[in-house]
């Protein structure tokens, strides 16, 4: 198969020529844009790479914003974009003449340098601008939010939205003076449901939650019929009033959740965003992808 190594030297002994292999261009497109680079279109490849990264983030934002299950279409767009870029690289190489004269950038080290530069500039910038300020993904590794969130769900968190009562929040425990010893034993970021907001009086009586004296309906809750021994601390709480700029949070799986019953009230600055949607869900023990959960709105 012809490649740069098989190039021949012309009569002047200076300029090398080598045909561009469409198959090689297609294979190199596993890194989007690298196929165009190989085919003699370096700038085109760089632009396609940047466009794909930006459009993938925009598709993720659109996916998060649309509550309907039809939003799953936005999951396909980045893959469709990568496939289109690969096909374009194939055509670019096919259209080059057999006596294509190698350019200064048709060197392996230049290929690597250009795309490593893009990888460590474009990707981090987009992650800071969007991932740090707009949305992020969170991988579920515990049973604390079952049955709402299952092990191996991947959820999207809107960092631009502050959760309302009843919504699921990202809770950041790092820096909490009152929970330093406990948080050393658990993850420093948890997903928990906002149960009570500033000014509310919260009380728990035999697992029933009362807000301002009224029992609230919680269809999302899982509680074992026979509570585990030593559960008195979590089955009863308060009454206590939620301080200003603080929140009372709980996990949906009440017997498996470390939350405000133990941690105390969560400060406003410890809330890192609102869980809006299940991005993807799978479990190999249950047969693979859980299609019925993918793209499910949580609001």
* pLDDT at residue 250, as a whole number: 95
Interval 37-85: pLDDT, tens: 999 999 999 999 999 999 988 888 888 888 777 888 888 899 999 999 9
Question: In the chain, how many domains are there?
Answer: 2
Whether 36 and 92 have beta carbons less than 8 Å apart is answered as yes
Interval 146-157: pLDDT, tens: 999 998 899 989
Q: 220 - beta bridge partners?
A: none
What is the distance, to the nearest Å, from the Cα of residue 192 to the centroid of all Cα atoms in its chain? 18
Q: Which of 174, 187, 104 is nearest to 142 (CA)?
A: 187
* pLDDT of 293 over the 60 cut: yes
Residue 175 within any structural domain of the chain: yes
d(CA 252, CA 222): 6
Residue 78 within any structural domain of the chain: yes
Whether 114 and 221 have beta carbons less than 8 Å apart is answered as no
* pLDDT at residue 119, as a whole number: 85
How many CB atoms neighbour CB 266 within 10 A? 24
CB-count exposure of residue 217 (10 Å: 0-12, 13-18, 19+): exposed
- 65 and 115 inside one domain: yes
Residue 296 within any structural domain of the chain: no
Query: Residue ranges of the alpha helices (H) in 129-231?
Result: 180-183
* pLDDT of 220 over the 70 cut: yes
- 122 and 15 inside one domain: yes
Between 179 and 193, the more confident residue is 193
Residue 298 within any structural domain of the chain: no
- 74 and 157 inside one domain: no
Dihedral sign for Cα atoms in the order 96, 100, 105, 106: positive
- 113 and 206 inside one domain: no
Interval 141-184: pLDDT, tens: 889 999 999 988 999 898 888 999 999 999 998 755 544 444 44
* Range in 121-125, 151-155, 210-214, 250-254 with the lowest mean pLDDT: 121-125
* pLDDT of 12 over the 50 cut: no
- 111 and 177 inside one domain: no
Whether 246 and 168 have beta carbons less than 8 Å apart is answered as no
- Domain extent, residue 57, equals 4-131
Please name the helix (run of DSSP H) or strand (run of DSSP E) that holds residue 219, with its range, or none. Answer: none
- 145 and 262 inside one domain: yes
Residue 114 within any structural domain of the chain: yes
């Amino acid at each position: 198969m012809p490649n740069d190594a098989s190039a021949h030297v012309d009569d002047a002994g200076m300029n090398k020529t080598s045909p561009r292999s469409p198959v090689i261009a297609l294979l190199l497109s596993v890194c989007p844009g690298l196929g165009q680079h190989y085919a003699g279109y370096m700038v085109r490849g760089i632009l396609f790479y940047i466009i794909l990264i930006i459009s993938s983030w925009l598709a993720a934002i659109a996916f998060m914003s649309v509550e309907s299950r039809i939003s799953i279409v936005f999951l396909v767009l980045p893959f469709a974009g990568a496939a289109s870029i690969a096909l374009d690289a194939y055509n670019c190489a096919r259209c080059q003449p057999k006596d294509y004269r190698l350019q200064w950038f048709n060197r392996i080290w230049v290929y690597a340098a250009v795309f490593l530069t893009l990888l460590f500039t474009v990707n981090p910038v987009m992650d800071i601008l969007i991932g740090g300020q707009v949305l992020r993904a969170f991988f579920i590794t515990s049973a604390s939010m079952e049955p709402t969130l299952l092990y191996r769900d991947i959820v999207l968190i809107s960092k631009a939205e502050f959760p309302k009562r009843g919504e699921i929040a990202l809770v950041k425990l790092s820096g909490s003076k009152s929970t330093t010893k406990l948080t050393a034993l658990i993850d420093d970021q948890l997903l928990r449901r906002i149960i009570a907001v500033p000014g509310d009086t919260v009380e728990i009586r035999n697992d029933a939650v009362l807000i301002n004296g009224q029992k609230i309906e919680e269809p999302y809750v899982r509680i074992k019929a026979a509570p585990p021994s030593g559960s008195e601390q979590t089955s009863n709480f308060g009454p206590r009033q939620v301080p200003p700029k603080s929140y009372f949070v709980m996990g949906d799986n009440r017997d498996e959740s470390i939350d405000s019953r133990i941690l105390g009230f969560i400060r406003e600055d410890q809330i890192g965003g609102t869980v809006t949607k299940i991005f993807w869900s799978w479990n190999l023990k249950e047969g693979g992808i859980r299609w019925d959960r993918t793209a499910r709105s949580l609001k």
